Structure 1
């Protein structure tokens, strides 16, 4: 694909440049994630308030999802390269369907653990498999745009689902929670139908080159590559100071230190979704052709300012100024997300050889999952000891380290991987490379 076609001036140009498989994948994202949005904000409430399981145990059960995902990510990456991304996605979405059905009728910690086992399997498998499938059918700058727009649509689906779930779910009516979990399960029929139907010929697997070195596909060999190491560290730290804290540290800080209501916190998350959905494509047009590592520096600056703003709300706790600061935090954080989500996946997949893309994505997914596990643990410990100032200082210091990691990574990757130029390749972006299609 030429630079002109990849950096088009609107959604129409981007859509026209996509191959049919890419259009199918992108057009169903919001529908698939709508079901996830129905249940995601209310799972802990369901476990604790509806099924009567203690809050401590509910937290452990939720963490079990990330633990399972981290455990299966490595094998999932290898199987993605061997069996194909489509096959692995079928397994993952089927597991999500089963897990949601189990949760719909779970009443004991054991049943919840079984449901979360299937859901954790989906999370661990679907990340490397989905990214590998996208990378096999979309190339060039369109790949970066695709990851960004996909992220916006995921947020749109989850946001709409959250609104619907909030209006429908009633803690005094356990059946209402069973219904939303069954709806989440039903939403998995969309990707399953897509993979068995229009995308049945796209397996997302590349043949191993004849001149490939023995053992190059092992995770140890991959992690010996300096660029992979720096990208993995950058991903882990970015998630630790970002998503790991936004999902746990932010709500706790906003309640305990900023002194705002749960309504303000809920509205802040709504602003997060609105910013991502409203600005993602605008941001993509601005960063097309720019160094991805420099884009990450802008993201780090936004996140640093966001956390400083949140920290200052502690000086005016319980006031309208604190509420305004909490809302501004999520607006700035979301703008940073629009810069992060197109860049890290694009670097990962442009760096990876075609036949090892599943493994490279698995390494990146593992770093992400490790950050989401450690982030809430650290946040809970520090805020429980009322170390709010040290908590914010730690995150800002982490952002400073990300600057160093980004600049170091920049020296370890090629201009093509960093988004500056196109790699010479015979396939057009408007068609699916033959290696990704079954014979």
Structure 2
């Protein structure tokens, strides 16, 4: 059984771990009561192991898995971006990469929230639904756009790396790479070291990926052992609306943009995004999934490092299409629950605010809810309405994170193709990158 499981592709193993975790979580919910006692009495013995499993084993394994992914983010972004920037043939290329990437990320966000509001108005998720409107929610204050721009430049790059402030890490990495490119032989010698470091870090990412089925199983088992199905049922209309809109954006908007701008097969992109999407779904974090997204972009999609190293980390920071969809649906839902009629100007304000806020709140913890609070305040809706949807937001967050990483790679492919930095043969090869995922833990020398 062990041999047959290991012979499966990594994608299949992760999927099996995810499904097994979901089933285990629901079984734990049905077998244990609120006190944590086993509902089945065997030979007069009550088994109280719920806390040991859920808050013990599953929590430890899941948190270690997420921590191992986050451990790779800063060194991967710094080393990869330095390699990519220092190898640019002309400084103007960096400006083109930045302008194209930001324009596409902001554009897709505007499209996402427009679709969300349109579908929400057609479905009316808050119509004829009775929910308590006395719920409370303390909104965090969002930084101003000016402050965000100023904070992009680190006063202490080591502190920026320690705090995983990705915008600051990106800025410092770019400046460091440019300085290396302008330093002649010294830059070339250091560049060779960074290339070796980049290869080793990507190999470490591969090792962590091979442990993913266990980590994903633990995360899913813990989550689905505590999700209240009654909460989902009470918000079913809103929940289904957001899920459907996310799928429309991922399976219609992204493929259309890819086909229009590159002529490439969208199905190939979606096929190769399966692993990254499952990682994103399990961790609910674009940043934690960043090492996997980078590996997918370079090894499976054929995006050259000098484009992937810039576009993918930037997308993980500012691309919030999934969050924008949640905001559009949530705004209409909350307005209908509180009986507030929003005008066309209000909806246009929601689109503009959410689109600009996707950049302005980058790197802020719980950025999605911070952005939603800003949007609600902009159209004079009660921020307390956020408390109404928090019960199902964890599941929705998992799905929208998967959409976000798909968008990151879509934009990276479009930008790389426009810069002639996309290996078409690798992109069209359905088996590209699969060999790089294999790790023989028993024979290290054979992997060298």
Short-chain TM bin: under 0.3
The two structures have a TM-score, normalised by structure 2, of: 0.25
* Structure whose CA Rg is larger: 2
- Normalising by the residue count of structure 1, what TM-score does the alignment of the two structures yield? 0.25
